[in-house]
Amino acid sequence: MSLGSKLRQLRQHKGWTLDEAFRASGVSGSNISRLEDGQSPRVAASTLAALAQAYGADVRELYRAAGWYSTPPKILEEEAKELTREEQRLIDTIRSSPSSRELVLTFTNLAQIAGKGEQ
């Protein structure tokens, strides 16, 4: 099963719209839609981790569906499971406030663009 099909299946199993998935995960509805439709060739591990957590799925299953590997490296397993108290508080804040979510998404996009320029 493709990553997009798997993500759509998980969201529909919850009975969620794209907006409900956004509110639960912090991943924009348009990004979720592009992933589900196979229109987004690259996806960040943090995006899959956020969606897996929101959907109650095993992040390793999404990693495999993305074609990254059959057995996830230990470091990514730990990254997906272990959050510091501060990281969890930030995630909770982002999920509870649409304006905070948009600010974080904007910052993240800018940081990714800046990071690509440094390579």
pLDDT digits (tens, 9 = 90+) for 11-31: 999 999 999 999 999 999 999
The number of beta carbons lying within 10 Å of the beta carbon of residue 26 is 21
Q: What is the mean pLDDT of residues 96-111?
A: 68
Q: In the numeric block, which tokens belong to residue 67?
A: 């074609």
Task: Evaluate whether 3 touches 65 at the Cβ level (below 8 Å).
Answer: yes
pTM of the model: 0.59
Q: What is the mean pLDDT of residues 50-72?
A: 81
* The pLDDT of residue 65: 87
Q: In the numeric block, which tokens belong to residue 31?
A: 């990004």
